[in-house]
């Protein structure tokens, strides 16, 4: 994917002004490679320098997070919140706690989030945050003390009308609980709309936990139907075994597909008959253990600790772990094995060369900003319920999620066609997101 010469100066500027941030460069490169046709059709976008402005986050916050571990030792982590764009609503996006977190990663995630949130058509801007804190192996009280320290700085930057964080890698219901408790304690406000992903009994929304994975499965269904086929009878490989992966597996099975492999950072497990989700949930959600334990109760399954999950043959690949987990070499293996579609549950899970290889081979690619948008869309539904002090049923909320995913699919599909790239969801998603954000920015002046 190449950048049109009219946008080369934007690219050069981004690289110069953001040294040492390869993931941010990669995310920007993909969008710049897609939007030349829309700039040609709408010259006001270039005149108003909307892409230049979107590439510069509105605000970037970096802070110290000191805490005390169970042994009494003082620990120091770094906290981030990048408030990328507020054209369409308050900054909205998750918090990631993982040792790999740095400013460039948070900026790429906030940049992606801006387009993703626009695709949902909900009133939310884009942002992302997190810390290089590693929750693995930490006790609940250590995680609580860390979250309390993190929120002691973050609270002054967020709010129902300002910035609304949620979960991401390493941040689930437990962490959101501790973060919300500390926000309430400092501000003396029960401000439900300040965080999403809350517990169901205290302001959370049904379906939010399942939403990202379910949404990705719905997107896969739409894509396959657009190609004249369906999920029924297809074989899937889903990487990861966290929040997104587990509920993608659940919905794929409900839709009649079979997921034969999933993974964590220590390897992958294959089960030719289809993975047993109860076992996986027990291992990952209840026990916070490793997928290698799966084989203990399923003797027909195999755990592989030193290979790639993408060598497992499948019809549809659903990467749900982390950025750049699927390389050109992995793409070649999948293509050789006859993959027909890639549905990105994670954010930017395929390297640029992997994505290009898929597109050249005629494999449909659903980019993360479209396929995993169900999570943040349902966060926006949680905000809607909080604002009206209401709570909706599981069935109604899931119906809304399904409608939103169909809307995103249709917008990407039709826009790709309109701009001369039929079937290219990467181009479709980037153009739709860019147009919606740009038009709102132009209406709001030079800000
Ligand atoms: P979780 O923390 O629940 O799970 C992450 C999973 O990915 C785990 O299985 C983890 O393995 C694996 N993983 C994470 N980092 C790495 C790594 N560096 N190398 C290998 N494996 C890794 O996170 P989520 O499921 O919430 O997030 C997964 C992806 O989906 C991320 O890209 C996130 O940004 C994206 N996403 C999440 C949304 C949400 O609502 N939660 C919404 C939209 C996108 P292990 O446990 O061994 O670390
Ligand atoms: O990447 C994502 O969209 C998320 N981690 C969810 C963000 C949210 O605010 O629900």
> Distance (Å, rounded) from C-alpha 67 to C-alpha 75?
5
287: left (phi over 0), alpha (psi -120 to 50) or beta: alpha
Pocket perturbation via mutation, ligand 2, pick of 213, 344, 379 by most ligand atoms within 8 A of CB: 379
Q: Across residues 72-76, what is the average pLDDT? A: 98
| Ligand 2 midpoint to CA 205 (Å) | 14
| CB of 343 sitting under 6 A from ligand 1 | no
Across the range 72-94, mean pLDDT stands at 98
| Main-chain dihedrals φ then ψ at residue 130, nearest 5 degrees | 155, -165
Considering the entire predicted model, what is its pTM?
0.98
Q: Is the CB of 325 under 6 A from ligand 2?
A: no
CA distance 79 to 422: 41
pLDDT of residue 51: 98
- C-beta of residue 248 within 8 angstroms of C-beta of residue 217: yes
Ligand minimally distant from the alpha carbon of residue 372: 1
Give, using CA atoms, the residue closest to atom 40 of ligand 1.
375
- The whole-angstrom separation of Cα 260 and Cα 318 is 11
Cα 9 to ligand 2 centre (Å)? 31
167 CB within 6 A, ligand 1: yes
CA of 269 to the centre of ligand 2 (A): 27
pLDDT for 447: 87
- Burial label for 168, CB within 10 Å (0-12, 13-18, 19+), is buried
166 lines ligand 2 (CB under 6 A): yes
User: pLDDT tens digits, residue range 212-237?
Assistant: 999 999 999 999 999 999 999 999 99
State the number of CA atoms in the 13 A half-sphere of 266 facing the CB: 8
Q: Best mutation site among 95, 110, 111, 212 for ligand 2, i.e. most ligand atoms within 8 A of its Cβ?
A: 212
Once rounded to an integer, what is the mean pLDDT over residues 195-221?
98
- When the pLDDT of each residue in the chain is averaged and rounded to a whole number, the result is 98
For position 280, what pLDDT does the model report?
Answer: 97
Residue 350: name the closest of 371, 315, 309, 319 by CA.
319
E strands within 160-240? 163-166, 235-238
Distance CA 360, CA 426 (A): 13
**Ligand 2: does its nearest atom lie under 6 Å from the Cβ of 376?**
yes
pLDDT of residue 1: 77
Question: Could you tell me the distance, in angstroms and rounded to a whole number, from the CA of residue 135 to the centre of ligand 1?
Answer: 13
Give the chain's domains with CATH numbers.
1-56+430-447 (no CATH), 58-190 (3.40.50.10860), 210-362 (3.40.50.720)
Mutational test site, ligand 2, from 83, 92, 113, max ligand atoms within 8 Å of CB: 113
Please tell me the distance from the alpha carbon of residue 42 to that of residue 158, in angstroms, as a whole number: 34
Q: DSSP code of 192?
A: G
For the stretch 237-271, pLDDT in tens is 999 999 999 999 999 999 999 999 999 999 999 99
> What pLDDT shows up at residue 11?
98
Confidence of residue 287 (pLDDT cuts 50, 70, 90): confident
**CA distances, 227 to each of 9, 255, 363 (Å):** 38, 17, 11
Is 326's C-beta closer than 6 angstroms to any atom of ligand 1? no
How many angstroms is it from 26 CA to the middle of ligand 2?
Answer: 19
Cβ(379) to ligand 1 under 6 A?
Answer: no
Q: Name the pLDDT band for 279 (thresholds 50, 70, 90).
A: very high
In this prediction, residue 286 has a pLDDT band, given cuts at 50, 70 and 90, of: confident
* The pLDDT of residue 197: 98
The residue annotated as part of the active site, out of 128, 198, 251, 369, is 128
Burial class (CB in 10 A: 0-12, 13-18, 19+), 383: buried
**DSSP 8-class letter at 237:** E
Residue 288 has pLDDT above 90, yes or no: no
DSSP 257-325: -EEEEEEETTEEEE-TT---HHHHHIIIIIS---GGGHHHH-TT-EEESSS-GGGS--SEEE--S-TT-
Residue 356, φ and ψ in degrees, nearest 5 = -60, -40
Is 3 close to ligand 1, i.e. is its CB under 6 Å away? Answer: no
pLDDT exceeds cutoff 90 at 36:
yes
Residue 126 Cα, ligand 2 centroid: separation in angstroms?
A: 10
Chain centroid offset of residue 416 CA: 22
pLDDT tier at 196, thresholds 50, 70, 90: very high
Q: Is 136 a catalytic residue?
A: no
């Amino acid at each position: 994917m190449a950048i049109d010469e009219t946008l080369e100066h934007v690219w050069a500027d981004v690289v110069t002004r953001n040294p040492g941030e390869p993931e941010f460069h990669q995310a920007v490169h993909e969008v710049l490679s897609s939007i030349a046709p829309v700039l040609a059709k709408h010259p006001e976008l270039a005149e108003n320098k909307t892409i230049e402005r979107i590439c510069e986050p509105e605000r970037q916050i970096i802070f110290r997070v000191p805490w005390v571990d169970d042994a009494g030792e003082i620990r120091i982590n770094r906290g981030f919140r990048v408030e990328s764009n507020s054209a369409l609503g308050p900054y909205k996006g998750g918090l990631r706690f993982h040792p790999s977190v740095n400013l460039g990663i948070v900026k790429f995630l906030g940049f992606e989030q801006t387009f993703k949130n626009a695709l949902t058509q909900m009133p939310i801007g884009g942002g992302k945050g997190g810390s290089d804190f590693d929750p693995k192996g930490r006790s609940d009280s250590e995680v609580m003390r860390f979250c309390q320290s993190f929120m002691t700085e973050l609270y002054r930057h967020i709010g129902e009308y300002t910035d609304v964080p949620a979960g991401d890698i390493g941040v689930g219901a437990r962490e959101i609980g501790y973060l919300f408790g500390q926000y309430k304690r400092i501000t003396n406000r029960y401000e439900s709309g300040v965080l999403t992903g809350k517990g169901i009994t205290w302001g959370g929304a049904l379906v939010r936990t399942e939403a990202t994975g379910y949404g990705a499965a719905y997107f896969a269904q739409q894509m396959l139907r657009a190609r004249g086929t369906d999920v029924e009878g297809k074989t899937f490989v889903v990487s990861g075994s966290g929040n997104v992966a587990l509920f993608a597996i659940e919905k794929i099975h409900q839709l009649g597909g079979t997921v034969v492999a999933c993974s964590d950072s220590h390897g992958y497990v294959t089960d030719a008959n289809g993975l047993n989700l109860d076992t996986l949930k027990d291992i990952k959600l209840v026990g916070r253990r490793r997928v290698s334990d799966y084989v203990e109760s399923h003797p027909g399954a195999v755990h592989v600790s030193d290979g790639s999950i993408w060598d497992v043959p499948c019809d549809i690949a659903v990467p749900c772990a982390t950025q750049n987990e699927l390389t050109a070499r992995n793409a070649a293996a999948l293509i050789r094995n006859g993959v027909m579609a890639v549905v990105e549950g994670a954010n930017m899970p395929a390297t640029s060369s992997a994505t290009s290889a898929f597109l050249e081979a005629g494999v449909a690619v659903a980019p993360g900003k479209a396929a995993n948008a169900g999570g943040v869309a349902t966060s926006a539904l949680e905000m809607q319920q909080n604002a009206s002090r209401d709570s909706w049923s599981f069935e109604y909320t899931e119906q809304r999620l399904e409608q939103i995913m169909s809307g995103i699919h249709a917008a990407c599909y039709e826009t790709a066609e309109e701009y001369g790239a039929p079937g290219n969801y990467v181009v479709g998603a980037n153009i739709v997101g860019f147009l919606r954000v740009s038009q709102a920015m132009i209406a709001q002046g030079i800000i």
